[in-house]
Amino acid sequence: MASICVFCGSSPGNNERYLDAARELGSALVHRGLGLVYGGVMTGLMGAIATTVMAEGGEVIGIIPKDMLSREIAKRDITDLRVVENMHQRKQMMSELSDAFVALPGGMGTFEELCEILTWAQLGIHHKPVGLVNAAGYYDPLLRLFDHAVTEGFIAPSHRMLLKSGATPDELLDTFDL
């Protein structure tokens, strides 16, 4: 089974549309026969997508650093919860187990994960689709920044094209060749 790694917030955010997008993405993954790889947390958008995938009969692999496990925030009622030493190992394992990457709304961790996986694609470390669900226009400022970086000569147009986006999960997933 192909799997999609989803980066997203451990908080729900301030707009109900973000939670809706997480649930919609979870449903879309199951209906397309795709598994979920994510950060293993039970709260926020992370918990919402994992709960949806499991409730609809899908497969979920959560990957969590051991220090987060001790804070009792791990979602244990998933197909497979893997505990790693640190965040670097978490991201490496997420990459190895995934056939594509999607970012939902989130904070610093989500931004960092998205930018790192885009950098890996730019460097040729992987050739997997990368995209974001731009729920309620959440990522409009980031997309404008990336376009500005192209205009200013810091991102090659071909590298900017590595990031796909869609207003809805289905719109985004339709752009992936899986």
Q: What is the DSSP string of 67-101?
A: HHHTTT-B--SSSEEEEESSHHHHHHHHHHT-SEE
Query: Quick one: CA dihedral 53, 72, 89, 107, positive or negative?
Result: positive
Quick count: other Cβ atoms within 10 Å of Cβ 93? 16
pLDDT at 1: 73
All structural domains of the chain, each given as residue ranges with its CATH number in brackets, are: 3-136+163-173 (3.40.50.450)
Query: For position 80, what pLDDT does the model report?
Result: 97
pLDDT score recorded for residue 73: 86
Kindly state the percentage of the chain with pLDDT values over 70: 99
**Secondary structure of residue 114 in the 3-state scheme:** helix
Q: What is the pLDDT of residue 112?
A: 97
Query: What confidence category does residue 69 fall into, taking pLDDT thresholds of 50, 70 and 90?
Result: confident
Burial of 175 (0-12, 13-18, 19+ CB in 10 A): exposed
Average pLDDT, the chain: 96
The 3-state DSSP class for residue 105 equals coil
pTM for the predicted model, two decimal places: 0.96
CA 12 to chain centroid, in Å, comes to: 14
Whether 35 shows a pLDDT value over 80: the answer reads yes
Residue 158 has pLDDT above 80, yes or no: yes
Is the pLDDT reported for residue 72 higher than 80?
Answer: no
User: How confident is the model over 124-131, as a mean pLDDT?
Assistant: 97
